[in-house]
Amino acid sequence: MWIVTGLFSLLGAIVYAELGVRIPKSGGEYAYLLEAFGGLPAFICMWVSFVVIGGVSCAANSIVFAQYMLQPFYPGCEPSKVVVQITAMLCLLLICAINAYKVKWATRVAVVFSTGKIIALLLITGFGVYYLATGHLESFENPFEGSATSPGLLALAFYQGFWAFSGCALCTTASVKIATEFFGFLLYYQSPVTDIRVLFRNYLNFLVEEMDNPGRNLPLAIVLGLGLVTGLYMLANVAYLAVLSPFELLGSGEGSAAVAVLFANRAMPWIAHAMPIFVGASVFGSINSEVMSMSR
């Protein structure tokens, strides 16, 4: 499923790569609609993307950021709604200030947090490989046990895969929980720890004018970035299944960090208590990338 959704996303990515090369202007869909159909469709697209899609996405992600960053300070209970909202607003103000003050600062924040996410994924993958090498193959002995084969779940699996790749449209990158059940083996749980905000499709097209040699670097970055994300997603989910059983994943709770925390408790307990902070940092990087691209 990961390979199929990755290939479908690659088709869309190639289309955007060609558009970015033929119309080397920042702004993404706005620039292309303006060139092809004129001002009105481009204006409508811009405001829907900026106010509705981008604004709602950043607001939702900032709430997720606040909830996880506050979790260590409220052991055994939930922080109050007011505290969460204030923390979320401070997060958005800080990110907007960074992007407004200096583009290089925003770029450095994106690089640092993206690197951190890749390191986290490699760490998860490494422990998964260790568990597989030591004979923990229980989850792979009957991979289709308890599977559901309805067409509706198949469609849902594709949709969630596209969501993970941001392969269909702008979407929130720190989803509360995505659970797709298709053929048992394809149990997919996306947490902010495994949700790299890679600007691999239309997001890079928002920044074309700021790239060096976009005719070469834009298609290269899109294809390589998408390939990297596909590989990391596959390896991380294999690692989850190597350490945890499908039934443990299903019963891991409602929060998206639940799987990552459960994995850390089992594979690396020395870092499990800090997992909410890592999740919050991951979401912070996602919001920064959203603001950096949508501001164009």
Q: Is the dihedral of CA 198, 162, 178, 180 positive or negative?
A: negative
> What integer pLDDT is reported at residue 90 of this predicted model?
94
Cα–Cα nearest to 53, from 29, 35, 33: 29
Share of the chain above pLDDT 70, in %: 78
Domain ranges of the chain: 1-295
Mean pLDDT for 199-205 is 54
CB 131 within 8 A of CB 165: no
What is the per-residue pLDDT across 39-94, written as a single tens digit (0 to 9) for each?
Answer: 888 888 888 877 777 788 788 888 988 988 888 788 777 888 899 999 999 999 99
> What integer pLDDT is reported at residue 92 of this predicted model?
92
pLDDT at 198 over 50: no
Q: What is the pTM of this model?
A: 0.69
At the fourth CATH level, which superfamily is domain 1-295? Answer: Amino acid/polyamine transporter I (1.20.1740.10)
Residue 178: phi, psi to the nearest 5? -120, 120
> What integer pLDDT is reported at residue 86 of this predicted model?
93
Alpha helices in 102-150 (DSSP H): 103-133, 138-141
> What integer pLDDT is reported at residue 51 of this predicted model?
78
Mean pLDDT for 116-140 is 81
- Between residues 43 and 8, which one has the greater pLDDT? 43
Least confident of 100-104, 173-177, 230-234: 173-177
Instruction: Show Cβ contacts of residue 220 under 8 Å, excluding neighbours closer than 6 positions.
Output: none
**Other CB atoms within 10 Å distance of the CB of residue 53:** 16
- Between residues 191 and 46, which one has the greater pLDDT? 46
Residue 207 CA to residue 188 CA, distance in Å, equals: 31
What is the per-residue pLDDT across 96-120, written as a single tens digit (0 to 9) for each?
Answer: 998 888 878 888 888 888 787 788 7
Residue 50 CA to residue 176 CA, distance in Å, equals: 22
